[in-house]
Every structure is written in C-alpha cells, then in structure tokens.
Structure 1
C-alpha cells in the first residue's frame, strides 16, 4: 500500500447544470482510493445512465475480477471524453466498456431552438468523441470495448423515429470504427430491437429508454458472449 496520497487526475466541474458534475466528487474519492490501494482493475464500465443504473455487482456477481462503474446519468460524449482520463485512463484497467451517445440525440428536439442540432451534427459529434476515447485507450494499452447505443421506444417524442434512425447510423459507425482500430464491438441493438429494425422491443424498458432487469439481462449475456469470443471472460 502507498504511504502517500497519489497524484490524482481531476477533470474539475463543467458547469452548474452539467450532468457530468453530479458524481464528480464521488468518483474523485473512489478513484483516489483505487490508486492508493494499487488495485488491479479488470474492466471500467463507462457511459451515461444506462451504465450508471446497471447493477454490475449483481449481474456479474460470480466474477472474481474488479469491475468499476463510471456511468453518469445524463452524460454526453462531449463531457465523457473530457473525463475519460480521470475515470478510465488513470485507473489502468485491462478493458473499458464504452456505451455513450444517446443523450446527445436530445438536441434533435431540444426546447430552445439555439440548443437544437441536426442529425448530421449529432452524428459527427458522437462518432468523433467516441473515436477519441478509443484512441486514448489504445495508446495506454487498454482494450476498448465499444457498445452499440440502444433503440428507444418513446412515442411521446415527435422525432423519436428520426432518433432511432440516427442510432442505427451511429452504431454502424461504431462497428466500422472498432474493426479498423482493433477495438471490440458489442451489438446490443440487434438483440433488443423490434422487427422494424429501429424501435426498442416492448417489455424491456418501462420508460422506453432505460432497460429494466430483463433488458439488462440480455445485455449482460450479449456482452459476455461477445467478449468470450475474443478470449475474455468476465465471470471467472
């Protein structure tokens, strides 16, 4: 065990309303503890609320490996990329499980016109940020595992069909990106989608966005099977 406090990377706070700030103090304290105790970390799950709310200790309870959750509800790729050094790189995990980008798509139908973005603008934003995170991980010899965004089923949003079409396009880019960089791509989308190819299947999320226990069960199975095919076992 170290006798002095480690030099800690802290991204600081982004703004009064930034989602990424909501767990900043918690993560800084936890990151410091992991570094101080020189813990060997197998996987960091990194993302937004879908990662934040995933009870990893239960779904991967048989795993002897150290798994760390660094999801923040409401986070976007912009702030995720800025906190990546603090919440992933400095922890030196073997793998980082990245799933981020759905919150960027709220800009399609933002209340204020000045906050709205086109599908193309959001696509460029998400893919550029995720590509940057992949490259940063690879430079530190961390294996990046890039996960597809999930389909949604939120009929209360007028542009939800367009959102789901954008999700498909982003996922195609993630898959290509992973293949070209040596990262691993995890396709949750095809296991959760309706026959129409873009809408979340009924019965997997109460709000049409966040998977409940059945949705997470499918995701855990897909993740483990995909990693096992690459010789990576999260459960033993």
Structure 2
C-alpha cells in the first residue's frame, strides 16, 4: 500500500493504543506501537493517536465524530475489543457480540463515507497471564471472528495482531510480551508495529 506525505494516519482504540499519550498535545503518540510505526515510516507523515484507556467499541462510536471524522484522516487503524471481553469478567458488564459487530460496522462505514479513508483493522488479543484468563476466550474468540467478518465486509486491511503475538510468545514467552495478558511490553508493542507495517507492505514480520 502506498502512502504519501499528504496522508494523515489515525490510530484509535483502547489502552493498547493510548500508551500514555498526552491528550493535551495532539502530536503526542504515546510510547507504544503507534510511535514505533511513525518512526518506521520511510517519510515524514502526519500520525495521530486517539487511543483512550479502558474504552470499548461503544465508547469509540460515541467519540467517532470528533476524534475521527473531524480530523479527515486518509488512513484509519482501529484496535478494539479486549475491554468488551474483559468487562464481562471483572465487572459483569456484557458487550454482546452482535451489538459489538454492529457498532464496529457503523463506525467503519462512517470512516469510508465521510473521509474516504483506507481502513486497517487489528484483531484484539490475549496472552493469558493467569489461569482464569483462559476462560476469556469463550467471549474473545467469537469477538475476533466478528472483527474479521466486519473488516472483510469493508475491504479493510486486516492485521492479525493475535496471531503475531502468539507466534512471538512461542519464542519469548507470553509474559515477556504482555505481563498481565493484555497490555504489551515494549517487546510486545514491537511485534504489533511490525505486523502493521507488514500488512501495509512495508516489511515482512520478523522476530523481535
């Protein structure tokens, strides 16, 4: 996929995207995969980070007009879903997969219609750090399937973040990539960044 200096690349999601960005500074990219991608681009480009800790897909939909459409990005990358699963297990707050999928479909449609944006959709992931997290897959696996269906329906570029991290975990161990199972270490963020760059045609995925 070709990018130009005129492109505006916007990344949106939850804490995995946020990574401590300064929300008072629109140029702040945080300390995770978004910054790594920006630094790896072969030319200066406008990169925007709109991740917010704790957000689920309905939170993204609520701020889509201001945080995405108003900025007229030419490329939108979305990584969402793990909190939709997590809240079921720590707070008993459900995010039914059909409703999740419908919300994701609506926001991708708006990005296409209002911005003519090229879409990247990253799969949510989990590297269980405790035995009880293994049960989360009963909720997360169908959610990943919903993400893949929606991405395919929109012709989005799919980034299999989940598979890239699983492959890396075989070499490095899950705890080295995401100590709590959800939030990546710098090593984990590097895996995510390389997966995105490979999907964008800017390099093959490689071991961290």
Give TM-score scaled by structure 1 length: 0.68
- Report how far residue 62 of structure 1 moved: 4.4
- Report how far residue 195 of structure 1 moved: 10
Structure 1: distance between partners of 2:59 and 2:45: 28
Q: Secondary structure at the match of 1:43?
A: strand
User: Structure 2 matches for 1:55-94, cutoff 5 A?
Assistant: 55=31, 56-63=34-41, 64-94=44-74
User: Structure 2 matches for 1:28-47, cutoff 5 A?
Assistant: 42-47=8-13
If asked which structure has higher relative contact order (CA below 8 Å, sep 6+), I would say 2
Task: Please list the CA deviations of residues 121-157 of structure 1 after superposition, one character each: whole Å capped at 9, or x if unmatched.
Answer: 532232222111111111121122111001231416x
- Report how far residue 96 of structure 1 moved: 0.7
Task: Please list the CA deviations of residues 179-202 of structure 1 after superposition, one character each: whole Å capped at 9, or x if unmatched.
Answer: 2221221111111127999xx834
Residue 76 of structure 2 corresponds to residue 96 of structure 1: yes
Alignment partner, residue 186 of structure 1: 159
Q: Secondary structure at the match of 1:51?
A: helix
Partner residue of 2:107 out of 114, 120, 133: 133
Which segments of 5 or more consecutive residues in structure 1 lack a partner in the other structure?
1-39, 230-236
Q: Secondary structure at the match of 1:61?
A: helix
Cα distance change, pair 195–79 in 1 and its aligned pair in 2 (3 A): closer
Which segments of 5 or more consecutive residues in structure 2 lack a partner in the other structure?
1-5, 20-29, 203-208
CA contact (8 A) 1:204 1:211 kept: yes
User: Structure 2 matches for 1:1-236, cutoff 5 A?
Assistant: 42-53=8-19, 55=31, 56-63=34-41, 64-111=44-91, 115-117=92-94, 121-140=95-114, 141-155=116-130, 158=132, 160-193=133-166, 201-228=174-201
Structure 2: distance between partners of 1:196 and 1:224: 19
Structure 1: distance between partners of 2:103 and 2:69: 15
Larger radius of gyration: 1
Q: Secondary structure at the match of 2:179?
A: coil
CA contact (8 A) 1:194 1:201 kept: no
- Report how far residue 94 of structure 1 moved: 0.8
